[in-house]
Amino acid sequence: LPNPFSPQPLFPPEQRMVLLACGPFTPSDGVAFEPLSDLLEVVARDRPDVCILFGPFLDAKHEQVESCQLLSSFSDVFQLCLRTIIEGTSSAGCQLVLVPSLRDVSHDFVYPQPPFALPDLPKEDRAVPAPEFPFSPQKIDSQ
CB atoms within 10 A of CB 128: 16
**Over the stretch 63-77, which tens digit does the pLDDT of each residue have?**
878 778 877 887 888
The CATH classification number of 18-127 equals: 3.60.21.60
pLDDT score, position 135: 43
In Å, what is the CA distance from 112 to each residue of 21, 41, 75, 134? 20, 32, 21, 11
Asked whether the beta carbons of 78 and 58 are under 8 A apart, the reply is yes
Asked whether the beta carbons of 57 and 25 are under 8 A apart, the reply is yes
What is the secondary structure of 81-108 as a DSSP string? HHHHHHHHHHTTT-EEEEE--TTBTTS-
Residue extents of the structural domains in the chain: 18-127
Asked whether the beta carbons of 127 and 115 are under 8 A apart, the reply is yes
**Over the stretch 131-140, which tens digit does the pLDDT of each residue have?**
755 444 455 4
**Burial grade of 118 (CB within 10 A; 0-12, 13-18, 19 or more):** middle
Residues 81 and 65: their CA atoms lie apart, in Å, by: 14
pTM comes to 0.77
Does residue 142 surpass a pLDDT of 50? no
For 31-53, the three-class secondary structure string (H helix, E strand, C coil) is: CCCHHHHHHHHHHHHHCCCEEEE
**Over the stretch 5-55, which tens digit does the pLDDT of each residue have?**
556 554 456 778 899 999 999 888 877 888 999 999 999 999 999 999 998
Residues 62 and 43: their CA atoms lie apart, in Å, by: 25
**Over the stretch 76-109, which tens digit does the pLDDT of each residue have?**
888 888 889 988 888 888 999 999 998 888 777 7
